[in-house]
Amino acid sequence: MSRMNTPALEDVPDETTAILDRLGAQLGFVPNMFRTLASNPAVLDAVVNLQGTMSRVLDAKTRHTIALAVSEANGCAYCLAIHTYVSSELGGMSSRDIELARTGSSVDRKRAAAARFARQVVVSRGRVGDAELVAVRAAGYTDPEILAIVTVAVQALLTNFLNNVNQTDIDIPTVRSPGGPG
């Protein structure tokens, strides 16, 4: 059970309603995480704006892969559920690639390097070695893209920490398997 108040949609502050409506239209539902954050409009605004800004760096599958790798490394069940849902239902990632992403890998060589690097950033608390930088550069990432990988990882850390502190109730729809019912 969530340890913080998760207000009903009709009980959120007025200044957060438009944000939650946009998220609901985009995702098909308003996740508990965002409803909880809505109790503090400044925090909700900060998280949503960071996510919006970071949606313009790297490609979507790479961002999803990083989020899954980081969420697995942090043991965030809520974030694993939402990122699995978004990666599968909205991001076009296969079940195999989602499984690999959770381990810090991918079916795509370059994306796998980004996931490994992001995972190492989290595990080392940002103190990656020269070898990790050489490896991510060898996969084709530029220094500006490496900065983006780190920032996407930190964005995932932020929501991991918020959800781990809260123990947010998982309200994510079941992911449909290819060719089968959800």
Residues 142-180: tens digit of each pLDDT: 999 999 999 999 999 999 999 999 999 999 987 655 443
- pLDDT value of position 182: 37
* pLDDT beneath 70: ranges in the chain: 175-182
Residue 142, exposed/middle/buried by CB under 10 A (0-12, 13-18, 19+)?
exposed
At 37, which CATH number?
1.20.5
- pLDDT value of position 178: 46
Q: Is residue 111 part of a domain?
A: yes
Residues in the chain: 182
- pLDDT value of position 141: 98
- pLDDT value of position 175: 66
Looking at the fold, whether 49 and 65 belong to one and the same domain comes out as: no
Looking at the fold, whether 72 and 146 belong to one and the same domain comes out as: yes
Q: Do 88 and 98 contact (CB within 8 A), yes or no? A: yes
At 143, which CATH number?
1.20.1290.10
Query: 111 lies in which domain range?
Result: 60-166
Looking at the fold, whether 66 and 140 belong to one and the same domain comes out as: yes
DSSP letter assigned to residue 107: S
Looking at the fold, whether 78 and 136 belong to one and the same domain comes out as: yes
Count of domains observed in the chain: 2
Q: Please choose, from the candidates 131, 105, 106, the residue with its C-alpha nearest in 3D space to the C-alpha of residue 119.
A: 105
